[in-house]
Amino acid sequence: MLPFEDYQDKPQTYVKHFFLENYLERLAYNIFNSKRPSIDFAYIDGFSGPWRSDAENYNDTSFAIALKTLKKIKRQSFRPGASKSLRCLFVESNPKSFADLKGFLSTVKGADCEPINDEFETAVDKIAGFVGNAFSFCFIDPTGFKDLPMNSLKPILDLPGEFLINFMYTFINKHLTNEDDDTRGQMDDLFGGGNWREKIAEKRNEGLEREDAIIETYCERLKQVGKVKYVTSTRVLFGTADRTYFYLVYGTNHQKGLVEFRKVESRTVEEQEKVRNILKYEQRAKRVGTDDLFAPLAAPISARQRSFDELRGRNLDKMEQKIRNLVRLGPCVYEKCLDALELPYVWEADIKEILKVMQQSDVIELRHKNPRGRVATYGTVIVPK
């Protein structure tokens, strides 16, 4: 994808595309190198654009980035005798954007591409038909919150694959408690009905921040409505303000996907912080005047926003508690512990670390598959003492 400098006034889009590209790379690698003799992969972009694109060949759009990444990984994955296909479906409702999208897709080689000029909500059954038995990844990236009624997403949530939804937190938060009937109805649709308001209130009473209560409730509702095994999220912040712009909400029935999601999240956190530090530096330099070279350094730029450390700390505590509770029930394999990766900003290395600490403090014994193994990994049996 293009470097950050080419996304000047849209740093959140850069971070979103960074995440998408890195995740698709891992997903496609795992799919196209799977041991199954034949595999079909269907990529769906439900709100394709182009939207605010100003790069040559639409290189700053999700559809161009996804296609380039998926085709590259498919080309590189070679297993004799294995048959694999890549088909992609792009939905866009705006006629002008659709015409541009269609023009671009007509030049694409190496993947079957189908554009649909429709509203995502009305296209869901067509999408499900297009996916069939393929493994699917559905990217759902609306501009607001009105076009995403959870119950109409059901055919997508039921697909044998994964999804990534842009939960437009800034707008949702702003309108969440609007009392006019239209907005109340749209919010009910977004959260898929149910008693979501009470759920948020309950979480607030338990001490959660409003923002955490909202995103947790949304993920839980998706899990219930779609009967998806894992639903989690990661945050994308404003360019310079220490506030959430949107969340990328991810659902999968595969633990391997969850592990990959968190790996990509950890890389994205670093990238996002790098970008935000540059932007903050530039903003400060502009404010104090560029000829005062030392002024920007006088007020240090935070290496990481405070709330990230708080959130990660809280989730690390929750992860530790989950693992201690799990181990108390009796021996279990390492893989069981990885379910704790549903907690945002908890990474696999954290799980290995807590298991090491528990071993050192004689709470558990680690029985490795490989007798020379030191660190818990796939196949390690954790035995309580």
Ligand X SMILES: C[S@@+](CC[C@H](N)C(=O)[O-])C[C@H]1O[C@@H](n2cnc3c(N)ncnc32)[C@H](O)[C@@H]1O
CA atoms within 13 A on the CB side of 336: 17
Share in percent of the chain as helix, strand, coil (round to 5): 50, 15, 30
Residue 61 tokens read as: 């759009």
Check: CB of residue 141 under 8 Å from CB of residue 46: yes
**Site for ligand X contains 62 (CB under 6 A):** yes
Query: Which region, judged by CB under 6 A, interacts with ligand X, from 119-127, 211-219, 262-270, 302-310?
Result: 119-127
**Site for ligand X contains 320 (CB under 6 A):** no
Query: Which region, judged by CB under 6 A, interacts with ligand X, from 116-124, 308-316, 329-337, 365-373?
Result: 116-124
CA distance 264 to 24: 10
For ligand X, the binding residue among 4, 29, 51, 308 (CB under 6 A) is 51
**Site for ligand X contains 97 (CB under 6 A):** yes
**Site for ligand X contains 47 (CB under 6 A):** yes
Nearest to ligand X of 34, 94 (CB atom): 94
Minimum distance from CB of 335 to ligand X (Å)?
A: 34
**Site for ligand X contains 119 (CB under 6 A):** yes
Q: Give which of 69, 51, 45 is closest to 13, Cα–Cα.
A: 51
**CB neighbour list of residue 66: distance below 8 Å, 6 or more residues apart:** 20, 21, 24, 43, 45, 88, 139
CA atoms within 13 A on the CB side of 46: 29
Residue 288 tokens read as: 């104090």
Cα-based torsion angle of the residue sequence 310, 316, 319, 325 in order, rounded to the nearest 10 degrees: -100
User: How is residue 380 annotated by DSSP?
Assistant: P
**Site for ligand X contains 141 (CB under 6 A):** yes
**Site for ligand X contains 156 (CB under 6 A):** no
**Site for ligand X contains 18 (CB under 6 A):** no
Residues contacting ligand X: total by CB under 6 A:
17
Nearest to ligand X of 111, 381 (CB atom): 111
Query: Which region, judged by CB under 6 A, interacts with ligand X, from 1-9, 46-54, 219-227, 295-303?
Result: 46-54
Coil, helix or strand at residue 180: coil
CA distance 219 to 214: 9
Nearest to ligand X of 145, 347 (CB atom): 145
Nearest to ligand X of 275, 337 (CB atom): 275
- For the stretch 317-323, contacts whose Cβ atoms lie closer than 8 Å and that sit 24 or more positions apart, written own/partner, are 318/343, 318/346, 319/343, 319/346, 319/350, 319/351, 319/354, 320/354, 323/351, 323/354, 323/355, 323/358
Minimum distance from CB of 254 to ligand X (Å)?
A: 24
Within positions 328 to 347, which residues make up the interface with ligand X, using CB under 6 A?
Answer: none
**Site for ligand X contains 85 (CB under 6 A):** no
Helix axes 210-226, 196-205, angle to 10 degrees: 140
For ligand X, the binding residue among 42, 92, 250, 265 (CB under 6 A) is 92
Nearest to ligand X of 92, 189 (CB atom): 92
Nearest to ligand X of 1, 176 (CB atom): 1
Where does residue 169 rank: exposed (0-12), middle (13-18), buried (19+ CB within 10 A)? buried
Nearest to ligand X of 89, 134 (CB atom): 89
Residue 157 tokens read as: 């949530």
**Site for ligand X contains 61 (CB under 6 A):** yes
Nearest to ligand X of 170, 305 (CB atom): 170
CA distance 242 to 211: 13
**Site for ligand X contains 117 (CB under 6 A):** no
**Site for ligand X contains 350 (CB under 6 A):** no
Query: Which region, judged by CB under 6 A, interacts with ligand X, from 74-82, 125-133, 139-147, 247-255?
Result: 139-147
Q: Give the H or E element holding residue 48.
A: none
Nearest to ligand X of 55, 111 (CB atom): 55
**Site for ligand X contains 115 (CB under 6 A):** no
Binding residues for ligand X, rule: CB under 6 A, are 47, 49, 51, 61-62, 91-94, 97, 119-121, 141-143, 147
